[in-house]
């Protein structure tokens, strides 16, 4: 599903030759259910008033959701599994003007991790319902975290975490 032929390049885009990717170190924790089956219909970035989407966790991770309901906003990380992964330069507007991959939030990147800050709507039986996503139906779920702005660490502070001089 991922790497595409050099002929798929837009003007001035540049791909590199890479050894086969080894994704074995990641454990997907579930799957994301969204209304979008085709890329054309999928938003470029999710919006807080977007449609409800569901993070369907594997049963082994259901207890890992305890306490998440406290957070109105949560961060979701996902694996953009249908992306090519070999572009260093991209022409997002297909007009020959290029930008480096790391200057974009394009799904095309060496490790196609997507992140979104989304609105938590409710949690029901191991499924987290959210608004604000922008991924295709069936996208693998990598991680869920509380919004960093609302989160205060539960563990005691470490030395070196004091006030800045």
Site pattern 97..116 for ligand SAM (x: CB under 6 A) = --------xxx------xxx
Q: What is the DSSP letter of 68?
A: G
Shortest spacing between CB 42 and ligand SAM, in angstroms: 4
Q: In this structure, are strands 52-57 and 127-131 parallel, antiparallel, or unpaired? A: antiparallel
17 binding ligand SAM? (CB under 6 A): no
- From the list 58, 81, 143, 147, which residue makes contact with ligand SAM (rule: CB under 6 A)? 81
What is the SS3 string spanning 90-124?
ECCCCCCCCEEHHHCCCCCCCCCEEEEEEEEEEEE
Distance CA 26, CA 23 (A): 6
Shortest spacing between CB 15 and ligand SAM, in angstroms: 16
Residues that bind ligand SAM (CB under 6 A): 39, 42-45, 80-83, 105-107, 114-116, 134-136, 139
């Amino acid at each position: 599903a991922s790497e595409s032929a050099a002929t798929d390049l837009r003007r001035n885009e540049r791909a590199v030759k890479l050894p086969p990717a080894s994704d074995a170190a990641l454990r997907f924790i579930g799957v994301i259910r969204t209304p979008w089956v085709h890329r054309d219909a999928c938003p470029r970035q999710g919006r807080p008033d977007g449609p409800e989407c569901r993070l369907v966790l594997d049963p082994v991770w259901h207890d890992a959701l305890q306490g998440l309901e406290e957070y109105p906003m949560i961060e979701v990380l996902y694996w953009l599994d249908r992306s090519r992964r070999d572009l260093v330069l991209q022409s997002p507007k297909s007009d020959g003007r290029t930008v480096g991959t790391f200057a974009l939030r394009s799904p095309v990147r060496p490790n196609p991790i997507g992140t979104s800050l989304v609105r938590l709507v409710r949690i029901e039986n191991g499924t987290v319902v959210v608004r604000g996503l922008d991924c295709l139906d069936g996208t693998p779920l990598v991680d869920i975290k509380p919004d960093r702005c609302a989160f205060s660490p539960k563990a005691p502070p470490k030395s070196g975490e004091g006030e800045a001089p």
